[in-house]
Chains A and B, each alone.
Chain A
C-alpha cells in the first residue's frame, strides 16, 4: 500500500516548511526511519524520516518550495506497486509564474518570475525560491546575504533574519541608519523614513530606538512572524475548540516535603537537581494513563488517542512562546525527566530545538508558579485536547479537625476541548491528579 510522506507538524507556531534537500531520489529504496529529506522552517532545520519501508516512488514537492505543514511531498510504495494515479499530477516546478495550487488544493508558494530578481552576471546567487520571493517582496538585495544552506544556498530563514536585522533595500535606508539598526537590532520594517523619498535616515532609527525603549503609549509595533503565527494559532484554537475550565486547590506540602526528602540523595546519585516541575510532569503523565482521552486529538470524525505521552512544557521567550515536549514522560524515570526538561528549556532559550521536540507534545503544562498569580486559564495548544495550568503556591488557613491550620496550596487549572472531553471526565482527571500530588510517596512508587 502506498504511504504518503508529509512535511511533519513543526510545532505550535510553525505553519510552513521548505524542503532544502532530498537525500533520496525517485526510485531509491528506503527503510522506515531512514532520513529522506531536510526541511527548513523559521525556527529549525530538521531531518525527516521515512514513515515506511519501500521505494520512494514519487517526489511531488521539489527542493526550494515552501509548503504548509502536513502537505504530502512524496509517496512510498511497496516494491513493484504502481504509484496511485492521484499522485501522478505533474510535479511542482521550481519556477511557476505565481502561487500555485497543489494536487491537494493547498496553496503552494512559488517564486514570481525569476527575471524580476537581479542576478549578477558573475554567477547566479544560490537561493531557494521561497527566499527569493520573500526577498523580492521586501525589496531586499540578495547579493548582500550569506546563505547558511548547503553550498551557501540562501534559505528562507536567511532572508527573514536579514529583514529582521534591518537589511532593507539600500535605496530605502541610509547606510548609517542601517548600521545603527543592525547594532541595536531594531527592525526597520515599521520605521518611517523622513529623508528624501521616504528614505530612512539615522535620526529615524534613533527615534525608533527611543520609542522601542520608552514604555510609551500610542506606539505601533509591527508583529514579527512568530507573533503573527502565535496570534493566528491562538485565535484558531480558541474558535475551533470549545474550551471549558476546571480549577482545584492542591495541598502542596506533601509534594514539597517529598522533594526535600529525596533531593540530596537524588542529586548525589543522578548529579541532577530535581525541581517541583519535574515531579509535576511525571505525575501528570501518570494521570494521563488513567485518563487516555486527555492524550487525544481530533482527526476528521475520529478521536485519535495518541500512543505516546509526551509532556509539553510552555517556555516563555522574549519574542513569544515555545512548547518543547518531554518524550515518553509516562514511561521514563525522574532522572530522565530532569535531564530532558533541563536540556529542552535551555535549548528553547537559544532557539536550538529540533522540530520533533516541538511537534511531539500530546498534552501541555503551563506553569506561572514564579509569579504572584493565583490561577489562570490557558488556550489549548492545537491539536492537543488538554492543558494544565499551575498558579503560585500560597499559604492559607484551613479547618482541619475543627482546628485552624496553615496550609500551602496551589490552584491547578485544566482547560480541555469540550468537543471530546466532557466536564465529568475533566473533573475526574483533575481530582485524580490532586489525589496523586497530595500522596507523592504512593504516586511515585514504582509498583
Chain B
C-alpha cells in the first residue's frame, strides 16, 4: 500500500512525487516513456536548445564586428545531437533525484482502475496492480490534430517529430499561430527556411497583450515570414516530394501553396490513455479532466494536475499544481491562481507575460494605468546590440496593484519573474519601481516601466 501513486512523470508528475516524498509519503510513479514528460523530451527544453542555437547564429550573422558572417551556418544534426545530450542529462538528473528520495519509478503503462487502484503494464507484457491512498493523474497532453490532417512524421509533422528531425526543409508551412507555431517559426526561419504561417483566428498569440502581438507581428514581417490570418486549410495533397496546400484567406480567397513540409501546431489535447473516464465516472470539462480549485477530481483521493486538466499548458503551471495537490493531500487548502502563472514564449525574441492584458484589465472596469519602457532606451539592450522590445506594466490606478506585466525582448522570460513575485507577495507598482536594479541590465527595464506608470521613468523623455 502506497500513500501516493502518480501516473505520468512529466513536470507535473515528477514534482508531485518529489514533493510527496519530501513530506514523508511513500510514493510510486509510473511513466510509459521517459521521465521529464513533454517538457523535457519534446517541448520546452528541446525548443530552448534550438532557440539559443538559432539566436546565437542570428546574433553572429547580424553582428557588426564578427567577420565571416556570410559563411556561418548551423549543422542541424549537431543541433539535434546537442539537444539529445541536454535532454539526457536532465532526464538522468531527475532519475537520480527520484532515486535519492526512494521514489519507486515504474516504467510502464499506468491505468487507473478505480480510486486507489492502479494497474501497470510493463513493456515485457507483465501487469501488476498497485494500491495507494492518494493518486495524482499527471498524464499530460499530446498534439491535437484537425481530423483531415494525417501526420506521417516526415512531410507532415507535429513538434514531436520536428524536434527530432535533423533535415531542415527549404519551404515550411506552419499551421497555427499560437505559442507553438510562433516558437517554431522563429527557429525555422532563423535556420533559413522559407516559413509560411496560417492562422484561423484574426491574430497570432491571442492570449497576449495587443502591444506584444503587434510587436511580434512586426518581427515576423522584418524577418520575412509570410503570415495569413483568418486563413483556413482546405486541402492538402502530397505530390512527389512536394506538398500542395489549398487554403482560404479571408482577403484573397483560395490560394495554393507549395511547401516541402507541414508542421501542425494546432494545439494540444489531454492524454487519457489508461483513464477510462466513462467507466470510472470521472468528470471531464470538454476533453480535459475536471478538478476543483484544489485539484481534486470527483473521484475520492484522486487529484489531477498539468496539461490533462487544461488551462495554460505550461510546465511550471503543472509543477505549481503538483505542489498544491501534495499540500492538499496533506490537509492544506491550496489553489493555483492562473493570473499568477507567467507565460513565456521564445521566437525571434522572447515574450514574458503574467496577469491581465491591458484590454482584459480595462474590461474589469477598474481604473487602469499603464507604464511602458522601450528597450531602445536601455543601456543593456544597446550594449548587447538588440534593442527590439519593451516592458509594459498594467496596474490599478488607485491601489497600485500589478494586474499584468508584459515584456517583449531579450531576457523577457527571465525578467517576468520579479513581477510574478511582486504579484504573489501583493507588492505594488511603486515597490517594483523602488527596488534598485543593477546597471546595466535588462532588469532596469522592469523598474523603468514601473516608474513610468507613475510618470517618473528616468530614461524616457518628458511626456507632453
Binding site for B on A (CB under 8 A): 174-177, 179-180, 183, 201-202
Bound-state CA distance A179–B400 (Å) is 9
Q: In this complex, what residue of B is CB-closest to A201?
A: B426
Distance in angstroms from B333 CB to nearest chain A CB is 9
How many contacts between A and B, using CB within 8 angstroms? 22
- 14 more CB-based (< 8 A) A-B contacts, given A176-B400, A201-B426: A174-B425, A174-B426, A175-B400, A175-B426, A175-B427, A175-B428, A175-B431, A176-B401, A176-B426, A176-B427, A179-B400, A180-B399, A183-B399, A202-B426
Interface of B is mostly: loop
Report how far A183 CA is from B428 CA in the complex, Å: 15
Instruction: Pull 17 A–B residue pairs with CB atoms less than 8 Å apart, ordered by A.
Output: A174-B425, A174-B426, A174-B427, A175-B400, A175-B426, A175-B428, A175-B431, A176-B399, A176-B400, A176-B401, A176-B426, A176-B427, A176-B428, A177-B426, A180-B399, A201-B426, A202-B426
Nearest neighbor of A205 in chain B, beta-carbon distance: B426
Residues of B contacting A179 in the complex (Cβ-Cβ under 8 angstroms): 399-400, 428
- Give the interface residue-count category, chain B: under 10
Cα distance, A150 to B337, chains bound together (Å): 49
Roughly how many angstroms separate A183 CA and B400 CA in the complex, as a whole number? 13
Residue of B nearest to A194 (CB): B333
**Which residue of chain B lies nearest to A173 when distances are taken between CB atoms in the complex?**
B426
A177 to B424, CA, bound (A): 12
B371-401, CB < 8 A from A: 399-401
Assembled-state Cα–Cα distance A180/B399 (Å):
8
Proximity string of chain B (397-437) to chain A, C-beta cutoff 8 Å, 1 when within and 0 when not: 00111000000000000000000000001111001000000
Minimum CB–CB distance for B401 against chain A, Å: 5
Q: In the complex, A179→B431 CA distance in Å?
A: 13
Chain A nearest CB, measured from B301 CB (Å): 25
Q: What's the least CB distance linking A119 to chain B, in Å?
A: 21
A401 CB to closest chain B CB (Å) equals: 72
Which residues of B are in contact with A by a Cβ distance under 8 Å?
A: 399-401, 425-428, 431
Closest A residue to B426 using CB positions? A174
Taken together as a complex, chains A and B put the C-alpha atoms of A174 and B427 apart, in Å, by: 6
Residues of B within 8 A of A180 (CB): 399
Nearest-neighbour CB distance to chain B for A184, whole angstroms, equals 12
User: How far apart are the CA atoms of A175 and B421 in the complex, in Å?
Assistant: 13
Q: Give Cα A187 to B451, complex, Å.
A: 30
Return A167 CB to nearest CB of chain B, in Å. 15
CB-CB under 8 A from B431, the residues of chain A are 175
A52 CB to closest chain B CB (Å) equals 55
A338 CB to nearest chain B CB (Å): 45
Residues of B within 8 A of A175 (CB): 400, 426-428, 431
Shortest 8 CB-CB contacts between residues of A and residues of B: A174-B426, A176-B426, A175-B428, A179-B399, A175-B427, A176-B401, A202-B426, A201-B426
Which chain A residue shows the least CB distance to B429?
A175
Q: Closest CB-CB distance, B324 to chain A, in whole Å?
A: 14
- CB contacts (< 8 Å) of B426 on chain A: these are 174-177, 201-202
Separation of A174 and B401 alpha carbons in the complex (Å): 11
Chain A residues near B401 (CB-CB < 8 A):
176
Output the least CB separation between A175 and chain B (Å): 5
CA–CA, A176 and B432, complex, Å: 13
CA distance A183 to B426 in the complex (A): 16
| Cα–Cα, bound, A202→B396 (Å) | 14
- The CA-CA distance from A175 to B427 in the complex, in Å, is 5
The chain A residue with its CB closest to the CB of B402 is A176
Residues on the B chain within 8 Å of A176, using CB: 399-401, 426-428
Closest CB of chain B to A310's CB: distance in Å?
48
Docked Cα-Cα span, A174 to B399, in Å, equals: 12
Which residues does chain A contribute within 8 Å of B427, judged by CB atoms?
174-176
In angstroms, Cα B295 to Cα A43, docked, is: 52
User: Smallest Cβ distance from B423 to chain A, in angstroms?
Assistant: 9
B166 CB, min distance to chain A CBs, angstroms: 47
Tell me the complex Cα distance, A176–B402, Å. 10
Please give the distance in Å from A367's CB to the nearest CB on chain B: 43
Distance in angstroms between the alpha carbons of A201 and B427 in the assembled complex: 10
> Shortest Cβ distance from B79 into chain A, in angstroms?
42
Nearest-CB residue, chain A, relative to B431 = A175
Closest CB in chain B relative to A397 CB, distance in Å: 61
Residues of chain B within 8 A of A177, CB atoms compared: 426
Q: How long is the Cα–Cα vector from A174 to B425 in the complex, in angstroms?
A: 6
Give complex CA distance A362, B129 in Å: 88
Tell me, in angstroms, the Cα distance from A201 to B431 when the chains sit together.
Answer: 16
B423 and chain A: residue at smallest CB distance: A176
Closest chain-B Cβ to A174's Cβ sits at a distance in Å of: 3
Which single residue of chain A is at the shortest CB-CB distance from B333?
A: A194
How far apart are the CA atoms of A248 and B427 in the complex, in Å? 63
Closest-by-CB residue of A relative to B399 is: A179
Provide the bound-state CA to CA distance between A176 and B366, in Å: 15
Minimal Cβ-Cβ distance residue in B for A180? B399
Which residues of A are found within 8 Å of B425, using beta-carbon distances? 174
Return A199 CB to nearest CB of chain B, in Å. 8
Residue of B nearest to A176 (CB): B426
Q: Which residue of B lies closest to A179 (CB)?
A: B399
The CA-CA distance from A202 to B340 in the complex, in Å, is: 15
Closest chain-A Cβ to B299's Cβ sits at a distance in Å of 28
CB-nearest residue of chain B relative to A177?
A: B426
Q: Min CB distance, B457 to chain A, in Å?
A: 21
Chain A residues with CB below 8 A from B399, complex form: 176, 179-180, 183
Complexed CA–CA distance, A265 and B427 (Å): 64
Chain A residues contacting B428 (CB-CB under 8 Å) are: 175-176, 179
Closest to B425 in A: A174
Q: How far is the CA of A175 from the CA of B400 in the complex (A)?
A: 9
Nearest chain B CB to A197 CB, angstrom units: 11
Q: Give complex CA distance A19, B370 in Å.
A: 49
Contacts of A201 in B (CB 8 A): 426
Best-surrounded residue of B400, B401, B426 (most CB of chain A within 10 A): B426
The residue in chain A whose Cβ has the minimal distance to the Cβ of B400 is A179
| B131 CB, nearest partner CB in chain A, Å | 35
- Chain B residue with Cβ nearest A202: B426
A179 to B430, CA, bound (A): 12
User: How many angstroms between the C-alpha atoms of A183 and B401 in the bound complex?
Assistant: 14
In whole angstroms, how far apart are the Cα atoms of A176 and B428 in the complex?
7
Instruction: Name the residue of chain B whose CB is nearest to the CB of A199.
Output: B425
**B453 CB → nearest A CB, Å:** 15
- B396: nearest chain-A partner, CB-CB: A176
Bound together, the chains give a CA A323 to CA B196 distance in angstroms of 83
Q: Tell me how far the C-beta of A144 lies from the nearest C-beta in chain B, rounded to whole angstroms.
A: 13
A104: min CB distance to chain B, Å: 49
Nearest residue (CB) in B for A175 is B428
In the complex the two chains form, what is the Cα distance from A201 to B426 in whole Å? 7
Cα–Cα distance between A7 and B322 once the two chains are bound (Å): 64
- What are the residues of chain B within 8 A of A174 when measuring CB–CB? 425-427
Min C-beta distance of B426 to chain A, whole Å: 3
A10 to chain B, nearest CB (A): 39
CB distance from A404 to the nearest CB of B (A): 66
Nearest Cβ distance between residue B415 and chain A, in whole angstroms?
21
A177 to B427, CA, bound (A): 9
Residues of chain A contacted by B400 (CB below 8 angstroms): 175-176, 179
Closest Cβ of chain A to B420, distance in Å, is 15
C-alpha gap A404/B400 in the complex (Å):
72
Q: Please, how many angstroms separate the alpha-carbon atoms of A176 and B401 in the complex?
A: 7
Smallest CB separation, A112 vs chain B (Å): 30
